[in-house]
Amino acid sequence: MLTAGESHGPQLTAILDGMPAGVPVDPDRVAAGMARRQLGFGRGNRMQIERDTVEFCSGLRFGETLGSPVTLVVENRDHANWTHILSAFGTPPAERGRELFRPRPGHADLVGMLKYERADARDILERASARETAARVAAGEVVRALLSALDIHVVSHVIAVGGERADVEGLSLEQIVERAEANDLRCAEGYDRMRAAVEAAGADGDTVGGEFEVVVTGLPPGLGSSMAPDRKLDCRLAGAIMSVPAVKGMEIGPAFLNAGRRGSEVHDEILPQSDGPPTRASNRAGGLEGGMTTGLPLVCRGAMKPISTLKKPLRSVNMQTGEIDKAAFERSDICAVPAAGVVGEAVVMMVVAEALLESFAGDTLSRLRDSLARYREGLRDRMRGLT
């Protein structure tokens, strides 16, 4: 997949390559996925301007994929207010406006200005902005259609915001998802505490970060590889989760907790099953062993730093004068962890779909489905052969 587009440019574009033919795509489901990314308590008012609708420009005919690249476009409604500022040609207006000369600590501004030799950080931040994730979520919804057709499901929920953690002990995944989808912090527990943390930060002109968890169910064992380090699914999932803007940490299952425990408290005992390959007594590995899926739910977590645009800014340098100054402020989120979880789903779906297509025939959905079914049947037969 390739995305293009500036935050206040006319549109975002995603080109998704490698989709099998014959995958039914429901535009209402795509729209619902886009709406989930726009929501979240603590978002700035940009999301009130945008109505992220997806236009399909290639790869789809009468609601089914053709096997050709899928091109998706998401219009930036806010572009109407920026046409003279983000113009592809012509000369800048006398008062260019909206220049950013005081780079924000934590954002791409300063390093981008230095690397690309730009006087105005606008040239950097327009692309570094997380607005780009709308394109990835759009493409992710197409991939979700493929995975759903194979009975593979991807969900997410927020596990911490501003230092407040959700206590989900004893809740099933279904309960977690039902609760998380019902509130604007996308958390299964601790809503009031998290909301208060966002409100308190906002009142202080400050921001918060947090953690989200993406869970994939219905996977066969063996996606990924232990044969080459960079093909381990752990590695590819880490890259995907870390590609979500502002995510600075990633774990598979409760990896950081596991690191402090003994082996006997961490590893998932292997138990026989009457009709299928052995299963596990627990899933503390988060669904991965040896770089491959175990067949249990795949659990990926992302840790998001606090948003770097602060109403009460930190110190910075004015890049026009070289003088110390306050960093620039422009309309911004106070907390975007709920949306980051939705983006997390999209990037995980890409990795999982890619791994599926590597292992199973992928020209058409029906051949992919047959090939996966044969593999699952083979796993069952192999165990039957032992009895």
Produce one character per residue of 65-91: b if its CB has 16 or more CB atoms within 10 Å, e if not: bbbeebbbbbbbeebeebeebbeeeee
In the complex, the smallest distance separating the C-beta of residue 40 from ligand FMN, rounded to whole angstroms, is 8
For ligand FMN, which is the closer residue by CB, 72 or 335?
Answer: 335
In the complex, the smallest distance separating the C-beta of residue 133 from ligand FMN, rounded to whole angstroms, is 5
The one-letter amino acid at 138 = A
Q: Which two tokens stand for residue 359?
A: 């292992």
Element (DSSP H or E) covering residue 64: strand 64-65
For ligand FMN, which is the closer residue by CB, 245 or 295?
Answer: 245
For ligand FMN, which is the closer residue by CB, 23 or 187?
Answer: 187
Contact status, residue 38 vs residue 154, Cβ threshold 8 Å: no
| Ramachandran angles phi, psi of 299, nearest 5° | -120, 115
Cα–Cα nearest to 109, from 312, 329, 304, 311: 329
CB-based burial label for 329 (10 Å; 0-12, 13-18, 19+):
middle
CA 190 to CA 230: how far, in whole Å?
37
Write the DSSP symbol of residue 15: E
In the complex, the smallest distance separating the C-beta of residue 60 from ligand FMN, rounded to whole angstroms, is 26
Cα–Cα nearest to 373, from 150, 223, 147: 150
In the complex, the smallest distance separating the C-beta of residue 329 from ligand FMN, rounded to whole angstroms, is 9
For ligand FMN, which is the closer residue by CB, 107 or 195?
Answer: 107
| Ramachandran angles phi, psi of 171, nearest 5° | -90, 140
Write the DSSP symbol of residue 295: S
For ligand FMN, which is the closer residue by CB, 13 or 309?
Answer: 309
In the complex, the smallest distance separating the C-beta of residue 172 from ligand FMN, rounded to whole angstroms, is 28
- Distant-in-sequence, close-in-space partners of 257: CB < 8 Å, separation ≥ 6: none
In the complex, the smallest distance separating the C-beta of residue 129 from ligand FMN, rounded to whole angstroms, is 6
In the complex, the smallest distance separating the C-beta of residue 247 from ligand FMN, rounded to whole angstroms, is 7
For ligand FMN, which is the closer residue by CB, 245 or 362?
Answer: 245
Contact status, residue 331 vs residue 45, Cβ threshold 8 Å: yes
For ligand FMN, which is the closer residue by CB, 166 or 244?
Answer: 244
In the complex, the smallest distance separating the C-beta of residue 125 from ligand FMN, rounded to whole angstroms, is 8
For ligand FMN, which is the closer residue by CB, 3 or 133?
Answer: 133
Contact status, residue 185 vs residue 211, Cβ threshold 8 Å: no
For ligand FMN, which is the closer residue by CB, 76 or 133?
Answer: 133
Contact residues: ligand FMN, CB under 6 A: 44, 107-108, 128-130, 133, 244-246, 307-309, 332-333, 336, 339-340, 343
Q: Rounded to 10 degrees, what is the CA torsion of 244, 247, 251, 257?
A: -160
CA 299 to CA 217: how far, in whole Å?
9
Helices of type H across 150-251 = 173-180, 191-203, 233-242
In the complex, the smallest distance separating the C-beta of residue 239 from ligand FMN, rounded to whole angstroms, is 13
For ligand FMN, which is the closer residue by CB, 100 or 292?
Answer: 100
Q: How many residues does the chain have?
A: 387
In the complex, the smallest distance separating the C-beta of residue 26 from ligand FMN, rounded to whole angstroms, is 24
CB-based burial label for 193 (10 Å; 0-12, 13-18, 19+):
middle
